[in-house]
Amino acid sequence: MSRRGGGGRRGGGRAGYENLSREPQPIAPSHGRGRGHAGGQRGRGRQTPPVQVTPPAPSTSTVAASSSGESSLIREVGHLSLAETRPNVPTPAGPSTSAIVQTPVQAPPQSSKGITIPARPGFGKVGRRCIVRANHFLVEVADKDICHYDVVIAPETPSRKTNRSVMTELVKMHQHSYLGGRTPAYDGRKSLYTAGQLPFTSKEFVIKLVETDQMGNARREKEFKVTIKFAAKADLHHLKQFLMGRQFDLPQETIQALDVVLRESSCTQYTTVGRSFYSPHFGLSTDLTGGVECWRGYYQSLRPSQMGLSLNIDIAATSFYKGAPLIDFVAEYLNIQYTSRPLRDSDRIKLKKALSGLRVEAVHNSDIRIRYKVNGISSVPMDNLTFPDDASGTSISVVQYFRDKYGRNLKYTKWPCLLAGSSTKPKYLPMEVCQIIPGQKYAKKLTDRQVRNILGATCQRPQEREASILQVVHKNSYGNDKFAREFGLKIVDKMVSVDARILPPPRLKYHDSGEEKSVQPSVGQWNMMRMKMVDGGTVDNWACVNFSRTHQRDVIKFCNDLAMMCNNKGMDFNMSPSFNPIEGNSNNLEAGLRNLHKLALDRVPGGQLNLVIIILPDTSGFYGRIKKVCETELGIVSQCCAPRNVARYNMQYLENVSLKINVKVGGRNTVLEDALYKRIPYLTDRITIVFGADVTHPAPGEDSSPSIAAVVASMDWPQVTKYRGVVSAQTHREEMIQNLYSVVNDPQKGTVARGMIRELMVAFYKSTGRKPDRIIFYRDGVSEGQFNHVLLNEMDKIRKACASLQEGYLPPVTFVVVQKRHHTRLFPEVHGSRNLTDKSGNILPGTVVDTKICHPTEFDFYLCSHAGIKGTSRPTHYHVLYDENKFTADALQTLTNNLCYTYARCTRSVSIVPPAYYAHLAAFRARYYMEADQSDKSSSVGDRSHERPVEIQLLPDIKDNVKEVMFYC
């Protein structure tokens, strides 16, 4: 672990938690072995004086815990008293703390009615001013009555396309009679909107749809009853009041009505997926391989903003099944030739996942074509499949049935049949008689190759993307749209120009022993060539396992050069491995790792390796298995390297790997210089813990896997660079984090408080010897529709977790949602300008927008904190849902931007704030653990997993020594 700190096993200072009652140093030390964060001399056990800085001010929080009684927190970590955690030192003078006012903290409301999302505290002023263009288009709304009608169509159909066909026929028949000449807008489900009232309050219509065959001949007629009933009038007055900031409740029904109006024409012309529209004619479709192709299109959404209503339009692309014979899809998807051999079990499992939910058309009958939805595939080949024949009263095989009934000799009798119909009365469809209906989104997980293909086909530089968006606006011709005219909507066809600011980058501190001791990043990046890690970790005992075909001499040379790089960058890395590189067998990977562990127990002092370097097998798919064994079974920190990088590497690659290794063994790569000198408002003026949280969901089509929540929290202060992570499996596709806090009944201990927040708060206390006086919580992955639910649920658990540690302990919380999955793009006012763009043509790192396109009243902003590499940069949207710390706009924007320069894995600023990024990485790491388990536990292909309840699969426990470091990096 880290050997540079305020002492350790080989230096003076604290040796462990038994000495927690000693007065903490002004700079939070690095625990265990180590040298100070900016020490000068390297060496075993020699302590280097830290940089002299002003000590922190005592906490003045109005929520200080009661001094009476022993706190749960103290009981968990030792005998540290409150007085010992708060040294009486003078408050540093200066502007950094003078504007901060601490307000009393109250428990959050117990219902969403009591939630008030904080109002914007003003606009930011820090940074160089500039103008950017945003892909938002102003929408002007005429003062017309908009009426909402409920629609019921019987018999009910799940298909919006069918519903629209019914409504189109109704309008065609009755627009100038019963509908009073109105041109209604329909959402395809239950809502109809008109500009002005219809001549009736409620009316029932009978509509007949005629289905035709491929030749256009009438095949059959189907009758629908449509009931239209007045529901309400949309309130344009309240919408205008909201947009002007005079009321805080968004009239969502009115926004929805106007959004339906503006989407109506596109819904009838294109394939709709969510809020996006696609067509193979928006540019040539791109083959992604595996029976999948990419369609282009555009995203459209009506949004309230400071400038009024804006229409957000962006270029979109997604994957679709190819409209082709199903047998062609199967051959391409499984990468096999048409053969008569049976499918392997692994192929059947893959195929079942790929085809479930797919709509196909049976083409064996020349007179009629029937469409089916695929529920699964048979567990036995077609030539073994029989079903009861009603005519003869005996069983008949599928092969015989098609020969007798249709005179068709089936070719692929060793392949399974598709299953359609119900479980009690299934229908068997031979794959060779089915055609995939075009226009179906491929919602399964794409392969790495398919992802590369779709990115390559859709990547556009900013100038090209802006031109494409304007082309969509021109093509849609909103000014001539009959629905927009009917409802009095006018769309300005120019992108809105927005005031922006470019925040300055922070200065980063490196070790004093380097040629350069600090650096000011330029355009979101910096070179570490002349610098050393601010707090290099120690690797005494390490080994290498080679699971690839890379020659051993190349592996030995790579390991030697990597160890040398780690030392050159400031680590204390033993140049000699504990034993020579081991050649492992990828076919017996787990056994190879366990044998390595046994070898370490025999040969390594203490029996524990600090690090294992693993050369991955030449084929993919082993990474998750390796991480699961190392981190949950053996308790070993590992660094995986691809064989191609071992055979051919450069110094930059070795440096990047050394950065990852350093934080995995407890070191720090760099810190914010202002953090060391306690010059960061709302972070270093009082003891602060920074959380990041995210939930990752299973791939589309996976109906048996749980969602995984991850929470990380900073374990050092004021540096705020080391983050401990915890993970938890929870209900399938549940966005709320369920295990933030809970109380359970233990047979031995009685009532016990648990949960991710509590565990991390206790770990912070153990790490720093102090209780946090402030919490900053960055929450990733929450959509706007979930704001109130997430806030009510998760803030309540944060509060309860804190109160469980000590009576009355309620540190003030700032809860910020981090959103990356949005469609706002920012373009430079002048493309190619050196003052406004980076090398990729994108806006400069640090560009922040909190006006015009942002929320009319709430505290949010867009921040592009990274330099573009390829394509068009996507700014991250930060939205404050709770703020007891009373951040100013400048303080939160600057803090968030500065933290983006502390990401451990590279010498570039990143696009989202690191704690949220780390939570994302930790959640995906836990997903690997689960996938490693599931590879041997796949259900039989004949099962219908949606018909049985899904139990939450528990995650394996991560070993404690692994948890203590940033293993997920």
Q: How confident is the model over 858-891, as pLDDT tens digits?
A: 999 999 999 999 999 999 999 999 999 999 999 9
Structure-token match 């959402």, residue found = 187
* Residue 240 main-chain phi, psi, to 5 deg: -65, -35
Structure-token match 């914007």, residue found = 120
Half-sphere exposure (CA, 13 Å, Cβ side) for 512? 14
Give mean pLDDT, residues 144-166. 95
Give mean pLDDT, residues 20-42. 37
Selection from 432-446, 498-512, 739-753 with the highest mean pLDDT:
498-512
pLDDT at 755: 98
Helices marked H in 711-862 — which ranges? 756-768, 787-805
pTM of the model: 0.88
Given a contact cutoff of 8 angstroms between Cβ atoms, the answer to whether 118 and 883 are in contact is: yes
Q: What percent of the chain stands above pLDDT 70?
A: 85
pLDDT band, very low/low/confident/very high, at 910 (cuts 50, 70, 90): very high
CA distance 421 to 392: 22
Tell me the three state secondary structure of residue 124: coil
What amino acid is encoded at 497 in this protein?
S
Tell me which of 393 and 773 has the higher pLDDT. Answer: 773
Tell me the three state secondary structure of residue 914: helix
Tell me the three state secondary structure of residue 966: coil
Pairing of strands 542-546, 582-583: parallel
**Taking the C-alpha atoms of 369, 373, 376 and 381 in order, what is their torsion angle to the nearest 10 degrees?**
0
CA distance 300 to 577: 57
The burial class, CB within 10 Å (0-12 / 13-18 / 19+), for 640 is middle
Judge whether residue 968 has pLDDT over 60.
Answer: yes
Helices marked H in 569-650 — which ranges? 589-603, 623-628, 643-647
Q: What percent of the chain stands above pLDDT 90?
A: 77
Cβ contacts of 588 within 8 Å, gap of 6 or more: none
Q: How confident is the model over 837-852, as pLDDT tens digits?
A: 999 999 999 999 999 9
pLDDT band, very low/low/confident/very high, at 386 (cuts 50, 70, 90): very high
- Sheet with strand 191-195: strands edge to edge: 185-186, 191-195, 146-154, 218-234, 202-212
Structure-token match 């103290």, residue found = 74
Give mean pLDDT, residues 627-652. 97
pLDDT at 80: 39
Given a contact cutoff of 8 angstroms between Cβ atoms, the answer to whether 723 and 966 are in contact is: yes
DSSP string covering 140-201: EE-S--EEEEEEEEES--S-HHHHHHHHHHHHHHHTTTTTTT---EE-SSSEEEEES--S-S
Judge whether residue 235 has pLDDT over 70.
Answer: yes
Q: Where in the chain is the domain with CATH 3.40.50.2300?
A: 538-664
Average pLDDT value for the chain: 88
What amino acid is encoded at 54 in this protein?
T
Q: How confident is the model over 711-770, as pLDDT tens digits?
A: 999 999 999 999 999 999 999 999 999 999 999 998 998 999 999 999 999 999 999 999
pLDDT at 94: 37
Given a contact cutoff of 8 angstroms between Cβ atoms, the answer to whether 897 and 913 are in contact is: no
CA distance 469 to 491: 14
Q: How confident is the model over 312-369, as pLDDT tens digits?
A: 999 999 999 999 999 999 999 999 886 778 899 999 999 998 999 999 999 988 778 8
Give mean pLDDT, residues 276-289. 92
Helix axes 552-568, 651-664, angle to 10 degrees: 70
pLDDT at 100: 38
Give mean pLDDT, residues 146-156. 97
Q: Where in the chain is the domain with CATH 2.170.260.10?
A: 326-437
Judge whether residue 36 has pLDDT over 50.
Answer: no
Judge whether residue 400 has pLDDT over 70.
Answer: yes
3-state helix, strand, coil in the chain (%, to 5): 30, 25, 45
Pairing of strands 292-305, 308-321: antiparallel
Judge whether residue 57 has pLDDT over 70.
Answer: no
pLDDT band, very low/low/confident/very high, at 109 (cuts 50, 70, 90): very low
How far, CA to CA in Å, does 625 sit from each of 484, 619, 831, 927? Answer: 55, 13, 46, 11
Judge whether residue 88 has pLDDT over 60.
Answer: no
Tokens of 333: 């998807």
Q: What is the distance of C-alpha 932 from the center of its chain?
A: 21
pLDDT at 389: 82
pLDDT at 55: 37
Please state which CATH number belongs to domain 326-437.
2.170.260.10
pLDDT at 788: 93
Tokens of 900: 């983006």
Lowest mean pLDDT among 412-421, 640-649, 943-952: 943-952
Structure-token match 């003030």, residue found = 812
Judge whether residue 393 has pLDDT over 90.
Answer: no
Tell me which of 256 and 423 has the higher pLDDT. Answer: 256
Give mean pLDDT, residues 960-966. 97
Judge whether residue 106 has pLDDT over 80.
Answer: no
Given a contact cutoff of 8 angstroms between Cβ atoms, the answer to whether 595 and 585 are in contact is: no
pLDDT at 54: 38
Judge whether residue 25 has pLDDT over 80.
Answer: no
Tokens of 648: 């051919």
pLDDT at 365: 82
Tell me which of 25 and 166 has the higher pLDDT. Answer: 166
pLDDT band, very low/low/confident/very high, at 933 (cuts 50, 70, 90): low
Superfamily of domain 538-664: Response regulator (3.40.50.2300)
Radius of gyration for the chain, computed over Cα atoms and rounded to the nearest angstrom: 31
User: What separation, in Å, do the N-terminal and C-terminal C-alpha atoms of the chain show?
Assistant: 15
